[in-house]
Structure 1
Amino acid sequence: MDAFTDILSEVSGYLSTLGASITLPFLIAIFGLILGQKVPQAIRAGLLIGVGFIGINLVIGLMGTQVGPAATGIAESLGVNLTTIDVGWPSSAAIAFGSTVGAIIIPLGLVVNIVLLATGLTRTFNIDLWNFWHTALVGALVAAVTESFWLGIAAAAVHMTVVLALADLSAPWIQKYFGFPDISFPHGTSVPYIAFAAPLNWLFDRIPGFNRLHADPTTIQKRFGVFGEAMILGFVLGILLGILGFGFDDPRGDSIAILTLAVSLAAVMVLLPRMVSLLMEGLIPISESAKTFVERRFPGRKFYIGLDAAIAVGQPAVLATSLVLVPVTVVVAVALAPLGNTVLPLVDLATIPFIVAIMVPIFRGNIVRSVIGGAIVIGIGLFIATATAGSFTQIAQSAGFELPDGATRISSLVDGANPLTGLFFGASQMGGWTIGVLAVLALGFAFAVSRVERRRDVARKAAAEAELEATQRERASEPPQPAEA
């Protein structure tokens, strides 16, 4: 068993070192062949996905490079020393895949998914293999707390079950808002926030005055014309963020930094959607093949294809919300320092689009609601990241990760601050038995969601039949047209 685990660990570590943009083309191409695609089609789809990820990472890297110094400047100007360093999702993924749980997470995740599909407890067939690392990180945290590899594996399986159920639950919002038919997002960063966004949106709808505020990109552009365009919005937000982060102590140098940041964020608003379109070009044929593959084996049942939330981060409302949340997140972190927060958001400021990717559709693209909701969940998440930082640092060092100079504790905004991470971490601290309780609750939740989905199907079918009957009655009541001479 140890030899087998060591081999899987080596393979997992190698894939982690390659990174998503190199690993995914190979995994997706192999997956495409399994799904029945021809070799040229599978290779082309895999390479397009790799190119798309490289493009997305370049644009997000540009955003992170420009935003990071401004965020640090805001924190320094407010005079707060936050000691836990946000190392970002790339480091978190490497730590997760380098853990003992990460060594077998891809086969484990696929087995869990297939079992849930076969039993009708999920509709999502998750082909987003790279992002299984989110599940691996939760499993590794539980293994570190309980000092049990097997409890870590069990926690990973339960986490995957919850993520798939949440993906099913949020799929109607995703499909309607983004226009992605039969798609869901079983993304460990994005999907847990439905638990906050749905009740918050219900609350916002009941606040007089606020419930009539329309602040979606289309409304903003109609009201402000060219100044409401995504590119102009990015430029303006860059100016404001630069002023807050750099000030004007050195007029020449600071003005250069501010303008560079402004143009860079304008570029992000233009380039990211185009990089996403490349990713989609590769994902669509794989998605269609996966749908055919599953429908052939489970005839008569409805399925969703689980994709990376990266295909949504280029949407204007998601991007605009994320840019506004950058300075808001830093200010929230500073404001919560006296209450116990020790995390300085840094690297993962550029990945806020993934945090809000599912929240924005639930808020119907309303940027004001999305920013308020995002600030609330990030504020809660900072306390989670602070609480998990010790164990996060422990598994990082066990996986061979070198801490940044001067850092003693690390975490991340993406997964260290994630509500599911907090749930599993908190439960495991009470004892290994809690993982069994979570397993029962997760299966119950998946069953409840499947019942909701079936009721939705019945309602949709009834509505379609009623519309068809109405159309037929209307046609029957029309007077016959005279025959042409």
Structure 2
Amino acid sequence: MDSIAHIFQWLINLGGVVFLPIIICIIGLFFRVSLSKAIMSGITVGIGIVGLGLVITLLSQSLGVAIQQMGEQYGSSLSIMDIGCGVGGPLAFSTTLGLLLIPASLIINFIFISLGWTRTLNVDIWNFWFAIFLGLVAYAVTGQYWVGILGAITAIMLQWLLADLFQKRVSSFFGYPGIAVTHLMALSGAVVAIPLNWLFDRIPGFNKLNADSETLTKKFGIFGDTVVIGLIIGLVVGILAGYDASQIGQLAISTAAVMKIMPKMVAMFMEGLLPIAEAAREFTSKKLNGKQVNIGMDAALTVGHPAVMATALIMVPISLLLALVLPGNKVLPFGDLAFYAFGVCLMVPFFKGNIIRSIVGGTVYLVICLYMSTWLAPTITEVFHLAQYDVGTSGLITSILCGLWPVTLFVLLLHHTGYIGLGVLALIILALLIYINKIRKIEMY
């Protein structure tokens, strides 16, 4: 097991830009894709990762810095640092729990697929980190390593369950046949969006409002275009940050550029993945008695959609305003500002691309996340201490996008019922996986 852990550590140390293309190439060969096509698929996915990284870095270094300056001007009473979910991967994979769970997850996944207990083959190894993070939370709360393993396995099964349930809706909305999003952070938002959309349908007047990206462009001309929306947001944030005219202009163009470039980078990502997904369907149809298998991938595939990007950008200034006015909140949004798209991307399909509903629903979700990330700050800080991960501050730290209902559920269960409650949750999730895939073969959404 130690040798396997060392192999995965070596792969992880290569960086996602290198190891994910390697994994994609290997998966392609397994599904009988020709060597040349498998290599090109891996390279193309790698190019997409580089492109997405450049765009996110641009967003973080431009809009993120401006928002930080806004926070310094208006949010001095907010004492808990939002370190951002971006450090989650390095944190998770710096622990023995993280390294052990990579091969364990892959092995369990193949067993579940063979038994017909899940339709999701999760090759998004980088985003195993969130399930591992939940395991570290369980370890931090109980002080017992084996409970951390139980927590991580429970989280892994939870992401398969949600990916199976939501694959049909997500795939059809974004146009990705044979692909399932397995990023638990994104899947968590979908769970919240379903009851919110039910509620929105029953609010007179509000239920008639519909503004997807095409409708906005038709009604408002260029001012409804998502690129122009990005430009306007950049202008407003630059003014509120106290920038001079040159800085405001640069920020506005940078934000508009993100709106334009992001979809093109996602398209490059999908160009590499689609041959693998098609080969997987053909292979499983022949070798697994027709069992449907979807390739589990990162939510990065969805963040380039105009409705997702528009919602995420508008939520940036909203988040700062909420942080200032919500009584009891102690978190100053910063680290997660560039990652809001990953929190709301799977909410958008359940709002049918309606940007108004997405913004309102995302705002409600953000309120919950701010309060939960405030409450969870001591636990999240302890997780970093357990991993001996230096974050450069001695105070409490948190992540807005780690203040999600799965983290809260785990902590509440462990505080009030101990490992027994977590074990019962694992059994419930397992039973649901078997029920929806083996007994009833349900596709809820």
TM-score range, shorter chain: over 0.9
By how many angstroms is 1:448 displaced?
4.6
Equivalence for 1:375:
363
Deviations 1:202-251 (A, max 9, x none): 1101111111111110100111222222211211121122222x13xxxx
By how many angstroms is 1:26 displaced?
2.0
Equivalence for 1:36:
32
Deviations 1:277-315 (A, max 9, x none): 111111112222222333333223333222211111101
| Structure 1 residues 387-466: aligned runs within 5 Å | 387-404=375-392, 406-414=393-401, 416-430=402-416, 431-450=418-437, 454=441
- Tell me, in whole angstroms, the C-alpha distance in 1 between the residues paired with 2:304 and 2:439: 30
Residue 135 in structure 1 maps to residue 131 in structure 2: yes
- Tell me, in whole angstroms, the C-alpha distance in 2 between the residues paired with 1:453 and 1:49: 35
- Tell me, in whole angstroms, the C-alpha distance in 2 between the residues paired with 1:236 and 1:350: 17
| Structure 1 residues 101-116: aligned runs within 5 Å | 101-116=97-112
By how many angstroms is 1:140 displaced?
1.4
Residue 303 in structure 1 maps to residue 293 in structure 2: yes
Equivalence for 2:252:
262
| Structure 1 residues 169-184: aligned runs within 5 Å | 169-184=165-180
Distance 1:54 1:241, change over 3 A: same
Equivalence for 2:308:
318
In structure 1, the gaps of 5 or more residues are 248-252, 461-485
| Structure 1 residues 119-268: aligned runs within 5 Å | 119-244=115-240, 246-247=241-242, 253-268=243-258
Equivalence for 1:279:
269
Distance 1:239 1:159, change over 3 A: same
- In 2, are the aligned partners of 1:99 and 1:395 still within 8 Å (CA)? no
- Tell me, in whole angstroms, the C-alpha distance in 2 between the residues paired with 1:136 and 1:263: 38
Partner SS for 2:244: helix
By how many angstroms is 1:176 displaced?
2.3
- Tell me, in whole angstroms, the C-alpha distance in 1 between the residues paired with 2:81 and 2:17: 25
Equivalence for 2:45:
49
Partner SS for 1:74: helix
User: Alignment length, in residue pairs?
Assistant: 444
- Structure showing greater radius of gyration is 1
- In 2, are the aligned partners of 1:75 and 1:331 still within 8 Å (CA)? no
- Tell me, in whole angstroms, the C-alpha distance in 1 between the residues paired with 2:7 and 2:80: 30
Partner SS for 2:292: coil
Distance 1:91 1:321, change over 3 A: same
- Tell me, in whole angstroms, the C-alpha distance in 2 between the residues paired with 1:27 and 1:89: 23
By how many angstroms is 1:13 displaced?
4.4
Amino acid of the residue matched to residue 262 of structure 1? A
- In 1, are the aligned partners of 2:80 and 2:330 still within 8 Å (CA)? yes
- In 2, are the aligned partners of 1:9 and 1:102 still within 8 Å (CA)? no
- Tell me, in whole angstroms, the C-alpha distance in 1 between the residues paired with 2:119 and 2:75: 49
TM-score, normalised to structure 1, is: 0.86
Compute the RMSD of aligned alpha carbons: 2.2
- In 1, are the aligned partners of 2:83 and 2:336 still within 8 Å (CA)? yes
By how many angstroms is 1:330 displaced?
1.7
- In 2, are the aligned partners of 1:12 and 1:102 still within 8 Å (CA)? no
- Tell me, in whole angstroms, the C-alpha distance in 1 between the residues paired with 2:383 and 2:96: 10
Give the alignment partner of residue 348 of structure 2, picking from 360, 364, 376.
Answer: 360
Distance 1:106 1:327, change over 3 A: same
Q: Which moved more, 1:259-268 or 1:86-95?
A: 86-95
Amino acid of the residue matched to residue 68 of structure 2? T
Equivalence for 1:474:
none
- Tell me, in whole angstroms, the C-alpha distance in 2 between the residues paired with 1:403 and 1:185: 30
Deviations 1:416-460 (A, max 9, x none): 222212211222223121221111221233245437973559xx9
- Tell me, in whole angstroms, the C-alpha distance in 2 between the residues paired with 1:453 and 1:270: 42
Deviations 1:59-109 (A, max 9, x none): 011111112222223323334432322222331110011122101222122
Distance 1:295 1:154, change over 3 A: farther
- Tell me, in whole angstroms, the C-alpha distance in 1 between the residues paired with 2:185 and 2:323: 19
Equivalence for 2:69:
73
Amino acid of the residue matched to residue 23 of structure 1? F
- Tell me, in whole angstroms, the C-alpha distance in 2 between the residues paired with 1:293 and 1:425: 41
Q: Which moved more, 1:327-336 or 1:209-218?
A: 327-336
Percent identical pairs in the alignment equals 37
Amino acid of the residue matched to residue 188 of structure 1? L
Distance 1:14 1:83, change over 3 A: farther
Amino acid of the residue matched to residue 365 of structure 2? V
Deviations 1:322-373 (A, max 9, x none): 000011112222223x32x332221211111111111001001111111111
